[in-house]
A = this chain, B = another copy of it.
Amino acid sequence: MENFSEWFHEILDKGDIMDSRYPIKGMNVWLPYGFKIRKYTLELLKELFDRDHDEVLFPLLIPEEELAKEGIHVKGFEEEVYWVTHGGSKELNEKLALRPTSETAIYPMFALWIRSHIDLPMKYYQIVNTFRYETKHTRPLIRVREISTFKEAHTVHATKEESEAQVEDAIELYKEFFDYLGIPYVISKRPEWDKFPGADYTMAFDALMKDGKTLQIGTVHNLGQTFAKTFDITFENEEGKHVYAYQTCCGLSDRIIASIIGIHGDEKGLILPPSVSPNHITIIPILFKEGKEEVLEKCQTLKEEFEAEGVRVHIDDRDIRPGKKFYDWEIKGTPVKLEIGPRDLKENKTIITRRDNGEKIELPLDETVIDSVIDIIEDVNVSISNKAWENHEDSIKISEDLDEIPKLIKEGNIVGFYWNGKEDSGKAIEEETDYDILGTYNELDSDENKKCIYSGEDAKYLALIAKTY
């Protein structure tokens, strides 16, 4: 893509997704069509969380005292926190933080709620707005000051093993979620110097955008007992002893929508996976004076028949020419357009246009049309995902030559390399290449005999490096 950044902004604007002219930098307005994409995305995610998490809702504001309790954690966020200092004209007794993330809002309550091992595991999630005072260049959905849709889960466990199993469960949940969206990802364990402040370790999902940069789209953190000790989250175990709990948390942001746009879209606009598209089908009636009523009536009948099967249908009956409608729905990425004019009615046929590959399919306008189009929609979902995964896999290159890495990254790749896992060599690799290590992809068996790309020592990991957002 020639100029990804420009294209991305144009899609947000012309696609009726987001208005970035709100008078505060980094805070944007969700427009109706974008809001619907957000809504369907959330519905998918909630279904997954609801299997074994309870949804709750905590206050936005966090007293300074609570936020500051966990020293390592607050250090990671303190320069990014927005502070409320006044109520009306009165200065508050204590400054209140706009949550940058909710550990310090939630965990004091966990300390009140958890008494015994029978209370565990405890698994909650919430969907809220969070705030970061970003000093870097902001970009809607990607780097913002108000994350309007932060999905965070927080779990508490009796043992270390259970917390580790929960991290794996959360990863599986994310996989299932991103598979619904057809979003390809790499999963890696972030290096020590890039993990969540206060976590034992951080697992991250990164997606490769069309500009060759990776976007962190989801993280899962094993918090160990760090926060439990800070917030005094203890429970009586089966032996009657009071011990500290183990915790995990995980988070997803508005970047999910950014990745849907940035990975599936093309020069003509959005390509929405049917799973989250506001309309699966947009029906475009071709209207002339003659036969207008019949055409609109047929559109309405079809709409109702599709809706009875759970298909989301929109009839674009605006009083403008069909060409403009086609153009608009290309931009907005409706998976399937269905066109019907008076001649089609006479000849008992309709033309279906797939947004993902532009294919036009003529179908008989009889009782088979509903199932045929549903099959096409399902095929779009699979095709979009397959195409994205193919591109993704073609863009992962393994290199055993440090000097080659920048070239490969500039060509739009994520690069795998062997690493001894030590911080000094890791940071040296970042410095020499001028790119960021995403994390370790997997641990090597000792008999693989690979050497660290920087130190020449025995490599412990296959790690990933890329140009990141």
A-side interface residues toward B, CB under 8 Å? 19, 21-24, 27-32, 35-36, 38-39, 54-61, 63, 65-66, 78-90, 96, 98, 105, 108-109, 112, 124, 129, 131, 133, 146, 148
Contacts and interface: CB of A to CB of B under 8 A. Distances in A.
Contacts of A58: 22, 29-30
Contacts of A86: 82-83, 85
Contacts of A109: 19, 21-22, 29
A78 B88 CA distance: 6
B87 A84 contact: no
A19 B56 CA distance: 11
A89 to B, nearest CB: 7
A66 B86 CA distance: 18
Contacts of A66: 23
Contacts of A80: 87-88
Given A82-B84, A88-B78, A88-B81, A23 B60 contact: no
A307 to B, nearest CB: 14
Contact of A31 (B56, B60, B82): B56
A209 to B, nearest CB: 24
Nearest to A16: B54
9 closest Cβ pairs, A-B complex: A87-B133, A32-B54, A27-B59, A30-B57, A79-B88, A83-B86, A85-B85, A82-B84, A35-B55
A149 to B, nearest CB: 8
- Could you tell me the dominant secondary structure of chain A's interface residues? mixed
Contacts of A19: 109, 112
B63 A35 contact: no
Given A19-B109, A86-B83, A59 B29 contact: yes
Nearest to A29: B58
24 contacts: A19-B109, A21-B112, A22-B58, A22-B109, A23-B63, A23-B108, A24-B96, A27-B61, A28-B59, A29-B56, A29-B57, A29-B58, A29-B59, A29-B109, A30-B57, A32-B55, A35-B55, A60-B146, A78-B88, A81-B87, A82-B86, A82-B87, A83-B86, A83-B87
Given A32-B55, A56-B31, A57-B29, A98 B79 contact: no
A47 B434 CA distance: 52
A82 B129 CA distance: 17
Contact of A35 (B28, B57, B83): B57
B32 A148 contact: no
A79 B90 CA distance: 8
B56 A24 contact: no
A61 B24 contact: yes
A148 B86 CA distance: 20
